Every structure is written in structure tokens, then in C-alpha cells.
Structure 1
Amino acid sequence: MLQTLFYKFSGAQESIELFTKIAGDREVYMRIGTGILEFIASIMLFSKLNSWFGAFLTIGLMGGGVFSHLTKLGIEHNNDGGLLFGSAVLILIIGLIVLFKERKNIPIVGNRL
């Protein structure tokens, strides 16, 4: 997720085109908002106490990314051979693994898991 932040925040043409397909004229809000949330998720993943929250946020973000690829963007975007889609799926799986490993640290429900 950290790797893509440069493209989102710098306004790279590929990022603008991708988010325009998803959000239309609200592209800039979705692109920057997604970037901010991905930055927060990345920081939280490295936090000892809150990595469960980072994983939860990662799952939501990458779930949305996978869904966007399956509904609007297509598996292959800008002739990337499905690399962006594959990255989203991989990060989603990693988020699920981290959340499973950190399940006992989740407030309220953690003790029951």
C-alpha cells in the first residue's frame, strides 16, 4: 500500500484515470481519501498494540479495490497484466492473516476469540 501512495498523492495520470473510472468527477476526493486511509492502515500495521486495526482497515480498503476491479475496472487495467488486481488480492489475504493472528488484541471481542 505504501508504494502506491506516491502515485495517489502526486496526481499521476494512471492514478487519475483509475479513480475517474470509479468515482467520475469526484476522482480527486476518492484518490486522496483512499491514500490517506492506506497511509493510516500502513502505520497501524506496524503498531504493536493496534496492528489489528490496521489489518481491519486494510481488509476494507483492499476489499473495495478487488470489488472495483471485478465490477468497473476489470482484472487488467492499462495493460498491466492484472498486476494491480493481483496486488490488491495479495494485500487483502495478508490483511486477513494479520487480523487472524491479532484477533485476541481486538477490544471487546478479542477475549472471546
Structure 2
Amino acid sequence: MMQNRFSWGLQILIALILGQTLFFKFGGAPESIYIFETLGVEPWGRYAAATIESIAVVLLLLPRWNVFGAFLAGCSMIGAIAAHLGKLGIVVADDGGLLFGLALVVLFCSALLLFLRRRLVMDLLGRLPNP
């Protein structure tokens, strides 16, 4: 019971962090445009990232699909962290490293959620056809 509440807390935290960035990405906030221009993928990269993160948020809040949301969020954050460690730098537009820190939090929480829900993950993987 306690683990289930903790898992839901993680799901909500991830969804809140990702969800609050969607307004900026879809809305074309100057910071988002700067980030994706620096990466050379503006505007399609911004829209793609926002769409992927939107799907992750929805999946995180659906009981049988939350592990897919955690996986999608984690993969998205691996890309974000790689961008920060590469072209962007840890501090972007004088944010003090906030975006980088939030990406680390989402990645950690996603990995922890996948670990806590590992039985569901293994059950889903067990249903895959063998080649």
C-alpha cells in the first residue's frame, strides 16, 4: 500500500515537471526557442519534444500504462541531459542549471518508478513474442 502511494507520488511529480514545460514548448517561449535553435532543431524539435512529453504525461496517469510513461519520460530526459552536457551547457540562459537539474530529477524518478513497478514491466515484457 505504501509503495503504491509512493509510486503514484513519483508519477505525479514526473507529470507535473514535464507538464509545466509544455506551455513553454508549445507556446514558443523565448527560452524554448533559444534551446532548440542552439541544438539546430527549431521548431520541429521543440514540437516533437513537447509531443513526446505530452504523451508521457498522459501515460503516467493511466494505471496500466504508467510504466510506458516512465520509460518515455526517462528516454526523453536522457536526450535532454545529453544536450545539456553537449551543446547547451548545464546553465542555459542564466537559469542556474534549473532545467538540467529537473531533467536529472525526472530521469531518476522515472528509473525508480520502473524499478518499483518491475513486476508489471516483466509481465509486459513476458507477453512479447519470442523471435
Query: Does the pair score TM above 0.5?
Result: yes
Instruction: For 1:80 and 1:33, locate their aligned partners in 2 and report how far apart those are by CA, in whole Å.
Output: 23
1:14 aligns with 2:36: no
Q: Which of 60, 80, 91 is equivalent to 2:75?
A: 60
Task: Give structure 2 stretches of 5+ with no counterpart.
Answer: 1-17
Percent of pairs identical after alignment? Answer: 41
Aligned residues: 108
1:38 aligns with 2:53: yes
SS of the residue corresponding to residue 125 of structure 2 reads coil
Higher-Rg structure is 2
Deviation at 1:102, TM superposition (A): 1.4
Task: Give structure 1 stretches of 5+ with no counterpart.
Answer: none
Aligned AA (1:62): M
Instruction: For 2:35 and 2:84, locate their aligned partners in 1 and report how far apart those are by CA, in whole Å.
Output: 10
Superposed CA offset, 1:4-30 (max 9, x none)? 0000001111100101111x2x31111
Instruction: For 1:72 and 1:82, locate their aligned partners in 2 and report how far apart those are by CA, in whole Å.
Output: 14
What is the correspondence of 1:61-100 to structure 2 with a 5 Å cutoff?
61-100=76-115
Instruction: For 1:108 and 1:80, locate their aligned partners in 2 and report how far apart those are by CA, in whole Å.
Output: 40
1:2 aligns with 2:15: no
Deviation at 1:101, TM superposition (A): 1.2
SS of the residue corresponding to residue 60 of structure 1 reads helix
Aligned AA (1:6): F
Instruction: For 1:90 and 1:50, locate their aligned partners in 2 and report how far apart those are by CA, in whole Å.
Output: 21
Query: Which TM-score applies when normalising by structure 1?
Result: 0.91
Instruction: For 1:46 and 1:103, locate their aligned partners in 2 and report how far apart those are by CA, in whole Å.
Output: 17
Deviation at 1:86, TM superposition (A): 0.3
Moved over 3 A (4+): none
Superposed CA offset, 1:25-64 (max 9, x none)? x311110010010010011111100111001001100011
